[in-house]
Amino acid sequence: LERELQLLAERAEERAEWARGEERTRIAREMHDVVAHRVSLMVVHAAALQAVARKDPEKAVRNAALVGDMGRQALTELREMLGVLRSSAGGRTRERVSVPLAAVGVAAAAAASRAVGGTAGPGEGPCLSEIEELVGQSAAAGMVVDLSVMGESRSCGPEVESTAYRVVQEALTNVHKHAAGAKTYVRLAYRVSEIAMQVENEPPPEAGVGASAGLPSGGNGLVGMRERVSALGGVFVSGPTDAGGFRVSAVIPAS
């Protein structure tokens, strides 16, 4: 009996450690989505501010205000997520390990949604109805982007909508990083039993803003998108186009 109890305890600890690892990965994805997208837009706006400071003072003032707002929002969301992480680490025990981790996940998802202008409630992430606003943020940063929505819009599961949103968000972030100035096409299609999305950019101009913006890349964006989509039973494909641009495509079951 003692041996069986010991084995059960060991298995419980293994499951708890696995759950902690999964939750840490999910939190890292959410923080990456919040920080990478927001800070990328800040860098783009800062580069534009530098370029127009003397020629168009009014536009420079608007860009400066946008940079300040984005920075404050990013700091607020980071403080919220880190605050939950600290409080969870302080009061965690083996018996209660899933409770604080769940709280962290909820806070991370809600904070990430608010960071990109969403109005999601507790435990909810961003939704597809916010895609137009997301695209508008990139357009405000100087990207020439075309949005097309096909099929009849409808509500899907929270995880499906959040994942679809994140794919588009990260793909736009990558355009800012690696192909600044390139025209970009965002396609969202509502099908019978699935949601399809595609973000494709043309080749960037030879002397684009991206060269001076100096946006770094950690190489985790595409990996995170693939993991999100695969976890829901979807298909994710990315790669260069024949025209010299880049394309990100994903199809996610809508059920």
What's the chain's average pLDDT? 77
Residue 148, amino acid:
S
- Please report the pLDDT score of residue 247 as a whole number: 96
Distances (CA, A) of 5 to 1, 10, 17, 198: 6, 9, 18, 51
pLDDT digits (tens, 9 = 90+) for 64-123: 887 787 778 777 777 776 776 666 555 554 344 343 444 444 444 444 444 444 444 434
Residue 164, amino acid:
A
CA–CA dist 116, 134 (Å, integer): 7
CA–CA dist 113, 116 (Å, integer): 6
pTM for this one? 0.66
Supply the CATH number for residue 192's domain. 3.30.565.10
Using the predicted structure, report yes or no on whether residue 8 has a pLDDT greater than 50. yes
**β-pair type (194-201, 184-190):** antiparallel
Number of domains in the chain: 1
Which alpha helices (H) appear in 53-149, and where do they start and end? 57-91, 98-115, 131-140
CA–centroid distance for 1 within its chain: 49
Provide the residue range defining the domain that includes 21. Answer: 2-253
Using the predicted structure, report yes or no on whether residue 2 has a pLDDT greater than 70. yes
